[in-house]
Structure 1
Amino acid sequence: MRTAPAREMGGCRVLGQVWGAWRRGPGVRVVAKASGFGTEAGHQLRPRGSSKRSRPLGDQPFPGLLQLENLGRKELVDVLRAAVVDQKGPLVTLNKPPGLPVTGKPGRLTLVSVLPELSQSLGLGDQELQVVQASGKETSGLVLLSSCPQTASRLQKFFIHSRRAQRPTATYCAVTDGIPATSEGKIQAALKLEHIDGIDLRRSGLLCQGCVKLVPSWGLTPQVIPVKSPSRKDFQEGVKRTVSHFRVVATGSGCALVQLQPLTVFPTQLQVHMVLQLCPVLGDHTYSARVGTVLGQRFLLPAESTKSRRQVLDEALLRRLCLTPSKAAQLPLHLHLHCLHLPGMRPREAPMKLLAPLPPYFSRTLQCLGLHQQ
């Protein structure tokens, strides 16, 4: 898999030094790397194209963001082809840039909408790709595709079985505004989707793959709301128990670099869980308003009555990030699907561990905040 050059890695080197200590599924052999981002799957993944060709940066204040409004179908296929980091048998793995929705309203430009063209571009002919695992629109990182329905079904069953066994298969990395009270722990919360004046999670692409069916129509504008002491009736009406593991990797400038492993699947689960820790993900313009501050002390505001707004950062943090308030309003979500654990494709094959480099803007943020190993 592609390894980011030293000039792009910056503060990211810390991740490789500590990643091996993180929880992982049984049978997965992990060797810590000093550089932090690579792949142990019994082979080295090779990039399909250079980073310059894969990300049209222009004069963006946040390098690596996808300007979807400036792309046509052909240009998007070129971007995705350049983002492919592995193609082995029926499986295709790519490192999705932030800003690209996986699914969306018919007629809109999404990952799924160009899969036929991407299949042709990768030489798969009539074997059209389908999504097996993917992050949401604003989340960057790994997307797993398959051109074989049987393989896709097998992997989806693997993910379902792993969740039932409380065995994590995905690891995200995030930068949070604030530092969790404990360095490691489990976040448990009952969550529900509720209609609130604000954004439409479907239209914004904030729904994770596999959760779209939870929202019955495009006209709704649901947000994720925590439910205290849910009853049996609540669970019958759509409330779900959610669980995530977290671990603080580094701290600096009042922020933290955090590893997150969801054990359940629910829309924007990780963002809501970090808000419940009073540490919203940097660039979370949906839920961060639920964290209030009085005399330097943080507290939760009622989710039902708190409207979404652009994340507000204090002046000291803006200076560290070299951002003006207007640029901070466009700050991308610092949540990246970094690692996936997969079973071997054949009975005797070793399990695979797929890793994706951080986006350039994410690496820049780590440098600006001085996030070094504790």
Structure 2
Amino acid sequence: MGGFCAWRPVRRGLRSVLGARARPRDAGFGTAARNPLQPRGSSKGSGPTRDQPFPGLLRPEDLSREALVDVLRAAVVDQRGPLVTLNKPQGLPVAGQEGQLTLLSVLPELSQALGLHKQGQEFHIIRAPGKEASGLVLLSSCPQTASRLHKFFVHSRRAQRPTATYCAVTHGLPAVSEGKIQAALALEHTDGVIHAVPVKSPSRRDIVEGVRRTLSYFQVVATGSGCALVQLQPLTVFPHQLQVHLMMQLCPVLGDHTYAARVGSVLGQRFLLPAQSTKPQGQVLDEALLRRLRLTPAQAAQLPLHLHLHRLLLPGARPREAPLELLAPLPPYFSRTLQCLGLSQPWSSVSS
């Protein structure tokens, strides 16, 4: 697994990582070169900020199994032996109910399309962002490789060494430019929907019954138009952890139609609303921000979550070698948002 051409030795510092250059082949999904579902006959002169509010955005629910396999095959960042890395589109669920079209449900077809079915091993998901997020997915048909990576991730978490780096655009600004967010979280069911809620001062019984202590590091990379480009490094794994952490900082992720409603505002001052009495609803954006994003209110209601698993650290090929770095380019709609907001992209060579 040491031959990934997209891997490089890790550079120290968060900003140096964001400035790392990806190879030209890492075009990612949604680009003209690699998106098999790109509409034909589109005008070359029409800029994405005018005619396409969400360029490159796919709707997996409208795809057939064959079309989804084609999309995922085109989204492969690298493939070496049994280990495959792809750039998951936003909105694609990793798993789901029987009969639902998910990443897990098409793994047999994807394995065949990538020429791995002859090895006789079942394809497994090692690491993947949630449904509403985009970014790096690790797949392997080798149990030994999967076990090695799993042990590496577990050991890194215990040592509090981040292995995953997300990029997010927030609606609002964090109070400080960098720091850590700690919270005890639990899952609750409301109207058939599972969501995470903070738990104050959890007891030992709470921990036994499913409450988890969570931790994320964050750093603001750029600000503009009342929004921020933020880098996040989770030290724990919990559903919707990063969305809840940013919501607790009063700056929910742009396109978060689940947790943004928990942030209220009076005379420009933001505050948290009780999770138990606040139902998920579409994120509300002010008129000035809508103009900057060049969106109508109806389009804003369809705004995708701007949370992208941009970078992963993996173990080196040999025990004493430094970890290796794997990058995924930003989705085109994410880059469009940064352009509209005037947020600089230190990793512009990595985005599509």
Are 2:29 and 2:71, in contact at CA under 8 Å, matched by a contact in 1?
no
Q: Please, which moves more after superposition, 124-133 or 243-252?
A: 124-133
Q: Using the alignment, how far apart are the partners of 1:274 and 1:48 within structure 2?
A: 26
- Which amino acid in the other structure matches residue 262 of structure 1? P
Counterpart for residue 174 of structure 1: 168
Q: Using the alignment, how far apart are the partners of 2:17 and 2:290 within structure 1?
A: 37
- Which amino acid in the other structure matches residue 102 of structure 1? V
Counterpart for residue 297 of structure 1: 269
Aligned ranges 1:6-45 → 2 under 5 Å:
21-22=13-14, 33=19, 36-38=20-22
1:283 aligns with 2:255: yes
**Residue 233 to residue 319, structure 1, CA distance change in 2 (3 Å):** same
Q: Helix, strand or coil: the match of 1:265?
A: coil
Counterpart for residue 67 of structure 2: 75
Aligned ranges 1:225-264 → 2 under 5 Å:
225-264=197-236
Give the TM-score normalised by structure 1: 0.81
Q: Using the alignment, how far apart are the partners of 1:324 and 1:93 within structure 2?
A: 36
Percent identity, aligned pairs only, is 72
**Residue 57 to residue 157, structure 1, CA distance change in 2 (3 Å):** same
Q: Deviations over 1:305-360 (max 9, x none)?
A: 10000000011000000000000000000000000000023446552100000000
Q: Using the alignment, how far apart are the partners of 1:87 and 1:313 within structure 2?
A: 40
Counterpart for residue 110 of structure 2: 118
Aligned ranges 1:133-212 → 2 under 5 Å:
133-197=127-191, 200=192
Q: Please, which moves more after superposition, 113-122 or 53-62?
A: 53-62
Q: Which of the numbers 48, 55, 70 marks the counterpart of 1:63?
A: 55
**Residue 260 to residue 359, structure 1, CA distance change in 2 (3 Å):** same
Q: Using the alignment, how far apart are the partners of 1:304 and 1:119 within structure 2?
A: 43
Q: Which of the numbers 359, 366, 371 marks the counterpart of 2:331?
A: 359
Q: Helix, strand or coil: the match of 1:51?
A: coil
Q: Using the alignment, how far apart are the partners of 1:252 and 1:48 within structure 2?
A: 26
Q: Using the alignment, how far apart are the partners of 1:222 and 1:337 within structure 2?
A: 22
**Residue 285 to residue 54, structure 1, CA distance change in 2 (3 Å):** same
- Which amino acid in the other structure matches residue 371 of structure 1? L
Q: Using the alignment, how far apart are the partners of 1:260 and 1:76 within structure 2?
A: 29
- Which amino acid in the other structure matches residue 134 of structure 1? A
**Residue 256 to residue 47, structure 1, CA distance change in 2 (3 Å):** closer
Q: Helix, strand or coil: the match of 1:123?
A: coil
Q: Deviations over 1:143-183 (max 9, x none)?
A: 00111011101101111111111110000000000000100
**Residue 20 to residue 257, structure 1, CA distance change in 2 (3 Å):** farther
Q: Using the alignment, how far apart are the partners of 2:175 and 2:206 within structure 1?
A: 30
Are 1:55 and 1:65, in contact at CA under 8 Å, matched by a contact in 2?
no
Q: Helix, strand or coil: the match of 2:168?
A: strand
- RMSD value, Cα: 2.4
> How many pairs are equivalent?
325
Query: How far is 1:373 from its partner?
Result: 7.3
Counterpart for residue 45 of structure 2: none
Q: Using the alignment, how far apart are the partners of 1:57 and 1:272 within structure 2?
A: 33
Q: Using the alignment, how far apart are the partners of 2:200 and 2:28 within structure 1?
A: 48
Are 2:26 and 2:329, in contact at CA under 8 Å, matched by a contact in 1?
no
Q: Using the alignment, how far apart are the partners of 1:46 and 1:298 within structure 2?
A: 40
**Residue 94 to residue 271, structure 1, CA distance change in 2 (3 Å):** same
Q: Deviations over 1:42-82 (max 9, x none)?
A: xx866699833425244863112112233111111111111
Q: Using the alignment, how far apart are the partners of 1:191 and 1:372 within structure 2?
A: 33
Q: Which runs of 5+ in 2 are unaligned?
A: 40-50, 347-352
Q: Using the alignment, how far apart are the partners of 1:370 and 1:115 within structure 2?
A: 39
Q: Which of the numbers 95, 99, 105 marks the counterpart of 1:103?
A: 95
Q: Helix, strand or coil: the match of 1:98?
A: coil
Q: Please, which moves more after superposition, 102-111 or 340-349?
A: 340-349
Q: Helix, strand or coil: the match of 2:108?
A: helix
Aligned ranges 1:297-336 → 2 under 5 Å:
297-336=269-308
Q: Which of the numbers 35, 40, 51 marks the counterpart of 2:31?
A: 51
Are 1:2 and 1:45, in contact at CA under 8 Å, matched by a contact in 2?
no
Q: Helix, strand or coil: the match of 2:283?
A: coil
Query: How far is 1:31 from its partner?
Result: 6.7
Are 1:2 and 1:46, in contact at CA under 8 Å, matched by a contact in 2?
no
